[in-house]
Amino acid sequence: MRTVIAVMAIALLMVATNAQAIAKGKKQQPDAQKTEDQAKKKADELAYKNALKSIPVSNEKSDPWKNVR
């Protein structure tokens, strides 16, 4: 009886380990999907940098309490 319970416990641990490996992305992605992801990442990074360039630089310090004082 003890061996049956031990075998079941080991089997459950192996299933949980396999599920964690799948969730972490251990499965290999197809090459087309990898290149698509890299291209999207590069485009997002470029859009982010361009958005940062469009924000004006303020030389004066902002004081949110200046009207209260």
Q: What secondary structure, in 3-state letters, does 2-44 show? A: HHHHHHHHHHHHHHHHHHHHHHCCCCCCCHHHHHHHHHHHHHH
The residue ranges of the chain whose pLDDT is under 70 are 15-32, 69
- Any domain includes 64: no
- Any domain includes 47: no
| Structural domains of the chain, count | 1
Q: What is the reported pLDDT for 51?
A: 94
Q: What is the reported pLDDT for 20?
A: 63
- Any domain includes 20: yes
- Any domain includes 57: no
- Any domain includes 38: no
Side-chain half-sphere exposure of 43, counting CA atoms within 13 A: 6
- Any domain includes 50: no
Q: What is the reported pLDDT for 43?
A: 95
Q: Is 60 exposed, middle or buried (CB count within 10 Å of its CB: 0-12, 13-18, 19+)?
A: exposed
Q: Which domain holds residue 19?
A: 1-25
- Any domain includes 18: yes
* Residue bearing tokens 């200046």: 66
